[in-house]
């Protein structure tokens, strides 16, 4: 779920699907360009992106972050499958 309020977006990730360490990596990778934080609450992780003062479109930034996190998850699954196959 994605929620937009003013100059911020809040993205909800289910920890049963998205590895928190992968989300942490995505947040770290984006932190040099945007104000972004990861909040872990029980079964969910939330990413809050503050794009105030940014000349880029906040909606696009948010969806690009989601795509990036998904790509990191794909890489993690491929890496795990390779390890199991060749481990």
**3-state class of 41 per DSSP?**
strand
CATH number of the structural domain spanning residue 72: 3.30.70
pLDDT band at residue 85 using 50, 70 and 90 as cut-offs? low
54 neighbors 61 (Cβ within 8 angstroms): yes
Q: How far apart are CA 57 and CA 75, in angstroms?
A: 27
81 neighbors 35 (Cβ within 8 angstroms): no
Say what the pTM is: 0.86
Domain that holds residue 55: 2-86
| Per-residue model confidence as pLDDT tens digits over 30-44 | 999 899 999 999 999
| Per-residue model confidence as pLDDT tens digits over 53-68 | 888 899 999 999 999 9
Q: How far apart are CA 28 and CA 50, in angstroms?
A: 14
Return the pLDDT at 87. 53
Q: How many domains does the chain contain in total?
A: 1
Q: What is the mean pLDDT of residues 65-76?
A: 95
């Amino acid at each position: 779920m994605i929620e937009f309020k003013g100059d911020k977006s809040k993205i909800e990730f289910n920890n049963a699907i998205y590895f928190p360490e992968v989300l942490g990596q995505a947040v770290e990778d984006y932190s040099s360009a945007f104000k972004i934080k990861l909040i872990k609450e029980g079964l969910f992780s939330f990413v809050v992106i503050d794009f105030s003062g940014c000349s880029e479109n906040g909606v696009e930034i948010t969806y690009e972050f989601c795509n990036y996190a998904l790509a990191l998850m794909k890489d993690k699954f491929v890496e795990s499958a390779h390890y199991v196959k060749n481990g």
